[in-house]
Structures are given as C-alpha cells and as structure tokens.
Structure 1
Amino acid sequence: MLRSCLHLKVCLGLAIAATPLAAAAQDCPDWRLVAPKTIEASATSLFSRYQTPLIAGGSVNLTSCLSMPGIGYLAEAPDLSVEYDGQGDRRLLDIRVQSDCDTTLLVNLPDEQYVYSDDEDGLNPVIRISAAQTGLYDIWVGTIEPANCAAILMIETFDES
C-alpha cells in the first residue's frame, strides 16, 4: 500500500512538487508532501510520551478545503509524520497539542482518512485513536486565528480498558 512506504512517499512528494499542476493542488493539506520531521515509533516506545515543540498555524484556510473536516489555518505539508508500529497490541494512540493560543489538530491516518479536533482540553485539541493500526500518520497543528503561535505536540499510547 502506498501509505506504508515512506521512501515512495518522499519520491512522490518531490515529483508532485515538480509538476506544473502542483501549484493548483497545494491549496489544502496534502499528505503526499514531506513533513520537516519524521519519526519511527511503536506502541511500546510511545508508553513514554513523545513531544516536540513546533509553530502552529500556516497559510492554508482549512474551511476552503471542502473534502476535509475542520476549521483553522495550517501548513500545506504535515508538521510531523509518524511511522507507527502498533505491534498488534491494539493500543489507544493519543495525539494532543498544548499551547497558549487556540489550536487545532488534523491527522491523516494510514487508511488516508482525515480526523480533526478542536477544543477538547480547553482550547487544546486531542485525538484518540482506538486500536491504532500500523502505518504512517501525518499530523498538522493549526490555529483558529491566522496568526502562528508556539505549541507542543505530544503523542502517547495507552492500554485500552
């Protein structure tokens, strides 16, 4: 499957960026674009929370992307890609943002479906994926207002009860 091949994704991202039609297709978040950072993580390794600082927001107004859920402003390319190994453990994958501004969260799942969150924990978004499957998760951290702000992205797994 295309989504599980990170190296092919990188090649496709470069090929798409080089085509003249790419400019028209860049108006919405695009999982085919390469994130500035990619990590490999497993259900076991994420029992210890992974966190990374980043700048939330971007120039893309998610409201204009009719095929995607949510509102807010974010970048075209994901802020982070996670090559996740569920290890067959069916753990809950918890993705959240902490910031002093009103942030949003958009995740493209391994099956290429998008999930969105806003204001789950005060003004901070949280996405919980039950029995998270192995594969590539592309993550965008956006803002409700067009201004960018500092944020911390946190990813952790939990046993499902």
Structure 2
Amino acid sequence: MKKLLAAAAILLGTAGLAAACPAWQNAGVQTGYTTGQDLYSPNSYSVVAGGSQNLRNCGWNHPGYVISRPDFEFQIDGLHQYGRLEIRAVGNCDTVLLVNDASGNWYFDDDSYGNLNPAINLYRPSSGVYDIWVGTYGPNTCGATLQMETWYN
C-alpha cells in the first residue's frame, strides 16, 4: 500500500510540474491573426520576456525562463508563397525564443540575432497556428519586442 501511495504522490508531483510547463494547448496571452503578406514588412509586438518556468525543469535541454501560456498565439495564413518566416526577439536583457509551429514542431533559440537576442528561421512554413514564448536566459523578466517577417527566398 505504501508503494502505491508513493507512486501516486510521484505521479501527482510530476503532473503538477508538467501543468506549469510551456504547452501549446494553453491559450496565448496575446492572440492575433495575420498573413504572410502582412509580415512581408516586419511586424512588432511588445511583451514582458521571461517567467517562472525554468525550461530545464520541464524536460528541455535548453536554458531559459518562460511562462506556461504562450506569450503569443497567431493564426498565420498565406505562408505558402514565402520561403521563410523569421521570428526574432529584441530585449533589454538576454532573451530566448520557444516556438511551436503550425505543424507541431518545437524550436528554441538563444543568441542567433546578435549577442543577447534570439531568432528562428522557418523555411517553407505552413499556414496555421504559431505559439510563441519570449523568455529570458536568467530568472528575471525584462521588456522585449517580438518581430516577425516573411521572405520570398
């Protein structure tokens, strides 16, 4: 009986951790609709980067802190004519990006857009829902800007 109770406690503890981790099923803090054509000129969105969820505690092999819900949830249509969708963040601190694309693939980046800013380039992107977390490398939050842009290449 003790083994059964201990196993149940471990499962409940793990479920509690998982519930706090980033999940595409969580509703986005900010939601929106845009198109590949709209993003041909870069669009910018303000956000507070970071959160209390340590990605390493959530099973990710990447450093960073985010919130459980996506900072942004975009329905993006008309991407079939664009060869690349670039998602980047510029912050007042060291920021990271976590993206779940329209096909359900996960992407992470830390410093590809300069010393402290991330960028993720998705080639031949699919139209659909994109969940985006703008996190921080360390546990503090900071002001940041999410930028998205499409390219024909």
1:12-161 pair list within 5 angstroms: 23-66=16-59, 68-120=60-112, 121-160=114-153
Quick one: distance in 1 between partners of 2:146 and 2:61?
A: 20
Q: Is the 8 A contact 2:18 2:58 kept in 1?
A: no
Structure 1 moving runs of 4+ over 2 Å: 21-25
Residue identity over aligned pairs, in percent, reads 37
Post-superposition CA distance 1:24-71 (Å, at most 9, x none)? 5323101111112111111111112111111000010001122x4521
Q: Is the 8 A contact 2:109 2:120 kept in 1?
A: yes
Quick one: distance in 2 between partners of 1:126 and 1:92?
A: 12
State the Cα distance separating 1:88 from its structure 2 match.
2.3
State the Cα distance separating 1:91 from its structure 2 match.
2.8
Aligned pair in 2 of structure 1 residues 87, 111: CA closer, same or farther (>3 Å)? Answer: closer
TM-score by length of 2: 0.85
Q: Which runs of 5+ in 2 are unaligned?
A: 1-13
State the Cα distance separating 1:122 from its structure 2 match.
1.4
One-letter code of the match for 1:33?
A: N
**RMSD (Å) for aligned C-alpha atoms:** 1.6
Aligned pair in 2 of structure 1 residues 84, 77: CA closer, same or farther (>3 Å)? Answer: same
Q: Is the 8 A contact 1:103 1:142 kept in 2?
A: yes
Q: Is the 8 A contact 1:69 1:114 kept in 2?
A: no
TM-score by length of 1: 0.81
Structure whose alpha-carbon radius of gyration is higher: 2
Quick one: distance in 2 between partners of 1:112 and 1:28?
A: 16
